[in-house]
Amino acid sequence: MENRSWKIGEIAKRTGLTIRSLHHYDQIGLFSPSRVTESGHRLYTDADVTRLHQIISLKQLGFALEEVKVMINNPDYNPTDMLKMQLSRLNEQISILVELRVRLHDIFELLDSGQSVSSERFMMAMQMMRIIQSPHFKPGQAEEIKNLFKSLGENELEKSYAEGLRLIAEFRKYKKMGKLPDDPEVTSLAERWKQEVDSFAPADAEFIQSAEQYYSENPEDAIQHGIDGELYEYIKKAVSFI
C-alpha cells in the first residue's frame, strides 16, 4: 500500500507550526519534502512526518535548530546522549535562575525598606529574565552576560547605559545627515561604540549571532533603546570599517 502524502497546509495544521516555519526548516536543510509536484506543491511522506516529530521533540527540549539538525542527521544519534546534554543544560539554567532570584530579592528588600532602586538595576533584572527564557542564547552565554553585569557597580551601570544612549543618538544624527558608514567621523564613533559594547557583552561572533537572532524576533527590545533595524545595520557596517 502506498504511503500517504501530506500537503504543507495539512502538516502545519496538525503540528501547530506555521507554513513559514516549515519553509525555513526546508531552507536550512532540516526538514524537506520527499516530493515536489510539477506545479511546485510540497508533498510529505509518513517518513517525513516521523522526522518532523523528532525535530519538534528535540526543539521542545530546548535544543537550537542547528543542534537538532546535527543530531538527527548523525547516524550514531543516541537519545540517551541527548537527554544527558539536556540535563546538563537544565543544571546551568537552574544556576542562572538562582542568581536571578538573589537579584530580585535584593531589589524587593530595597523597595520594602523604602529605598530607591535605579531603573538600570530593574532593566538588568528584566534583561536577565529575557535572556534566560530566550532559545537564542545558550546557557553559557547567559552565564557570561550575568557575570559581566555583576562586575559592574551601580554607578558604572548608570554611566554605561547613559553613554550607550548618547552614542545611539549620534549614530542616528550622522545617518540622518547622510554620512556613510565608512566616514571617518562615523568610524570614530563606531570605535567608541565597540569599546562600550565589549565592556558588558561577550565580544565573539557566536554571541553576536545569538543577539541578532534574538533582536530580530524581539525588535521591541531594541527599539526601546532607540535602535531600529536600519540603524542597527548602519552601526554594524560602521563597526566593520574599524
Give the separation between CA 189 and CA 174, rounded to whole angstroms: 10
- Report, in this order, helix, strand and coil percent for the chain, each rounded to 5: 70, 5, 25
Radius of gyration of the chain (CA): 23
Q: Which residues contact 4 (CB under 8 A, 6 or more apart)?
A: 45, 46
* 10-24: average pLDDT: 89
Give the separation between CA 163 and CA 147, rounded to whole angstroms: 21
Tell me if residue 6 falls in helix, strand or coil: strand
> Looking at 97-106, 111-120, 209-218, 219-228, which range is the least confident one?
111-120
Sheet holding 6-7, edge to edge: 6-7, 42-44, 35-36
CATH code of the domain in which 44 resides: 1.10.1660.10
- Give the count of beta carbons closer than 10 Å to the beta carbon of residue 238: 26
How far from each other are the two terminal CA atoms of the chain, in whole angstroms? Answer: 63
DSSP string for residues in 216-231:
HH-HHHHHTTT--HHH
The pLDDT tens digits for 28-76 are 999 999 888 888 888 998 888 888 888 888 887 778 888 889 888 888 8
Q: How confident is the model at residue 222 (pLDDT cuts 50, 70, 90)?
A: confident
Give the separation between CA 201 and CA 51, rounded to whole angstroms: 37
Q: What is the dihedral of CA 194, 92, 63, 59, to 10 degrees?
A: -120
DSSP string for residues in 151-208:
HS-HHHHHHHHHHHHHHHHHHHHHHHHT--TTSHHHHHHHHHHHHHHHTTS--SHHHH
Q: Which amino acid is at 135?
A: P
Residue 183 exposed, middle or buried by CB count within 10 Å (0-12, 13-18, 19+): middle
Shared domain check, 28 and 69: yes
Res 177: pLDDT: 95
Shared domain check, 95 and 51: no
Shared domain check, 145 and 61: no
Shared domain check, 126 and 60: no
Would 1 be classed as within a structural domain? Answer: no
Note whether 173 and 186 are within 8 A (CB).
no
Tell me if residue 24 falls in helix, strand or coil: helix
**Which residue segment(s) compose the domain that 112 sits in?**
81-240
Answer yes or no: is pLDDT of 83 > 60: yes
Decide which of 43, 73, 103 is a domain's last residue: 73
Q: How confident is the model at residue 1 (pLDDT cuts 50, 70, 90)?
A: very low
Closest-CA residue to 41 (of 29, 66, 59, 23): 23
Q: Which amino acid is at 139?
A: P
With cell 519553509, the residue in question is 23
Shared domain check, 123 and 231: yes
Res 23: pLDDT: 92
Answer yes or no: is pLDDT of 106 > 70: no
> Looking at 91-95, 144-148, 153-157, 209-213, which range is the least confident one?
153-157
Decide which of 20, 38, 73 is a domain's last residue: 73
Kindly report the pTM of this predicted structure.
0.47
